[in-house]
Amino acid sequence: MKNRPFLQRLRFAVTGIAYALRTESSFRTHALATIAVLVALVCLRPAPVWWALVTLTIVGVLAAELFNTALEQLADRLHPEQHPQIRIAKDCAAAAVLVVSIGAIVVAAALLLDALAR
């Protein structure tokens, strides 16, 4: 899999996103939230720095969801039966998504407060 052409690697990445959209309800929820946030940005027309901050936040949440999905798939494949240490790894990955999502809510609240102050 190493040193493949760029387009082939891009196809692998798009396949991963498509898989997450098909199989992970949390990823779909975050994807829908992304659309809602982008609509809000268009309506609010904030400064470019807000666009950058919100974009980085969205990308962070979606990436965390993809990492969580990858870890869960790998753990389930390598050790299908319940195991306390694998449960902890999966719980920590889910916690990472939660932490990033809380950060996204804080960014959204700050954006709304800034928009209302104008």
Per-residue pLDDT of the chain (118 residues; tens, 9 = 90+): 678 999 999 999 999 999 999 999 999 999 999 999 999 999 999 999 999 999 999 999 999 999 999 999 999 999 989 899 999 999 999 999 999 999 999 999 999 999 999 8
How many domains are contained in the chain?
1
- Counting beta carbons within 10 angstroms of the beta carbon of residue 88, is it exposed (0 to 12), middle (13 to 18) or buried (19 or more)? exposed
Q: CATH number of the domain at 88, please.
A: 1.10.287.3610
Q: Is residue 78 part of a domain?
A: yes
Q: Is residue 95 part of a domain?
A: yes
Q: Is residue 104 part of a domain?
A: yes
DSSP 118: -
- The residues that are catalytic are 65
In terms of residue numbers, what domain contains 77? 6-117
| Measured distance CA(26)–CA(19) in Å, rounded | 12
Residues 6+ apart with CB under 8 A from 80: none
DSSP letters of 2-29? TT--HHHHHHHHHHHHHHHHHH-HHHHH
Amino acid residing at 105: I
Q: Is residue 12 part of a domain?
A: yes
Q: Is residue 52 part of a domain?
A: yes
Q: Is residue 1 part of a domain?
A: no
pTM: 0.92
